[in-house]
């Protein structure tokens, strides 16, 4: 006879403490991509709650299920309120609910902005490593956008063994750019850390370009800026014009997920009426079944899969239990008798 699981709450402090090894988390994300690529997952479309009176804000539900080594179902509920940054709050906040694979009962609620940022950063670091397999290791990197996601991506690139002779920063707000430079300096990062005056200067400066902005529509339009054929981690999805997408080799995390909601690849599909510009997925790259030419820009555009949140979140849950850091909620499930 099945019994309802113990329900626990795991706060951000515990999540942050548990997620202390980038290499381990990158490996978890790699395994999750493989499980997804081998059809051991269910990852429905994300659901967007939008507000007529707050058009730049949204809350997104990402339901998912992942089997394999993970065996967990659940949902991430993540809000994006760009106006938060003017008051010093991060743009995004989130919770993750984990459900038992056998009974369907929820057994944990985790603070998930850190999990979300971590899985995003681990995905970016994994892609950076895999996409450079046939290229020289990058010695220069540019960050477009300087928020929490950029900070986590930089941390995970560093934790994955990337070192840079030059870091270039570009943000439309000079205060944020300077703040990010101060953060990197405080972390003791080697190499020159500079702030670009223009987007063109920022793109041309580096062999690895990271977009982690809040842009809702393309703001980089010139394919000629990418003539040096960099690897581009297009994490924020809506920065590049369709012309740049069509002039590049494109890798996504999931074709159906990425080509919607007016992402840059979706705009390219609307412009051409086809998806022939998509070379493959990161799973294809991991399996060595996709060609990655070096004579054009190489762009990775991940929509963000709920299965990654489940993979990382379930790992946090198990480790928090092992360390005695999960907070159980007694009698959370009260009426468990069919006939009282």
Number of H helices, E strands in the chain: 11, 16
Identify the sign of the CA torsion 242, 247, 248, 252: positive
- Kind plus residue range of the DSSP H or E element containing 79: strand 72-80
How much is the pTM? 0.94
Domain 8-116+306-328 -> CATH class: alpha beta
Q: Is the CB of residue 92 less than 8 Å from the CB of residue 12?
A: no
- List of E strands, 282-339: 298-301, 327-328
Least confident of 2-11, 51-60, 252-261, 307-316: 2-11
CATH 3.40.50.720, the chain: domain bounds: 124-301
CATH number of 124-301: 3.40.50.720
pLDDT at 86: 86
pLDDT tens-place string over residues 206-262: 999 999 998 999 999 999 999 999 999 999 999 999 999 999 999 999 999 999 999
**More confident call, 168 vs 5:** 168
Helix (H) or strand (E) holding 8: strand 8-10
Contact of 263 with 301, CB cutoff 8 Å? yes
From-to residues of CATH 3.30.1780.10 in the chain:
8-116+306-328
Q: What is the pLDDT confidence band of residue 340, given thresholds at 50, 70 and 90? A: low
The residues pairing with 327 across neighbouring beta strands, listed in sequence order, are: 9
166's CB contacts (< 8 A; 6+ apart) are 139, 140, 141, 191, 192, 193, 194, 205, 206
Per-residue burial over 104-120, b if 16 or more Cβ lie within 10 Å, else e, is ebbbbbbbbbbbbbbbb
């Amino acid at each position: 006879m099945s019994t309802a699981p113990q329900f626990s709450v795991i706060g951000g402090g515990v999540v942050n403490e548990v997620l202390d090894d980038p290499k381990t988390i990158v490996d978890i994300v790699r395994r999750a991509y493989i499980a997804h690529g081998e059809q051991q997952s269910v990852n429905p479309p994300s659901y967007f709650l939008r507000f007529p009176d707050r058009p730049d804000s949204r809350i997104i539900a990402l339901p998912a299920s992942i089997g394999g080594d993970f065996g967990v179902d659940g949902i991430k509920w993540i809000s994006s309120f760009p106006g938060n940054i003017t008051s010093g709050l991060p743009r995004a906040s989130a919770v993750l609910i984990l459900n038992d694979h056998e009974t369907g009962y929820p057994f944990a609620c985790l603070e998930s902005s850190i999990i979300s940022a971590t899985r995003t950063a681990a995905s970016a670091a994994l892609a950076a490593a895999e996409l450079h397999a046939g290229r020289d290791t990058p010695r220069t990197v540019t960050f477009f956008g300087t928020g929490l996601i950029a900070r986590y991506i930089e941390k995970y690139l560093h934790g994955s063994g990337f070192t840079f002779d030059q870091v270039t920063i570009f943000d439309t707000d000079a205060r944020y750019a300077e703040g990010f430079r101060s953060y990197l300096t405080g972390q003791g990062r080697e190499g020159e850390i500079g702030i670009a005056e223009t987007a063109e200067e920022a793109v041309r400066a580096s062999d690895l370009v990271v977009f982690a902005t809040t842009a809702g529509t393309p703001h980089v339009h010139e394919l000629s800026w990418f003539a040096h054929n960099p690897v581009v981690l297009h994490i924020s999805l809506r920065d590049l014009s369709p012309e740049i997408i069509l002039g590049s080799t494109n890798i996504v995390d999931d074709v159906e997920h990425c080509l919607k909601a007016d992402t840059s690849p979706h705009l390219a599909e609307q412009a051409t009426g086809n998806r022939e510009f998509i070379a493959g997925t990161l799973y294809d790259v991991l399996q060595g079944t996709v060609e990655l030419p070096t004579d054009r820009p190489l762009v990775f555009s991940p929509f963000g899969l709920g299965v990654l949140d489940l993979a990382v979140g379930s790992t946090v849950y198990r480790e928090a239990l092992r360390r005695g850091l999960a907070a159980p909620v007694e009698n959370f499930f009260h009426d468990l008798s069919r006939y009282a």
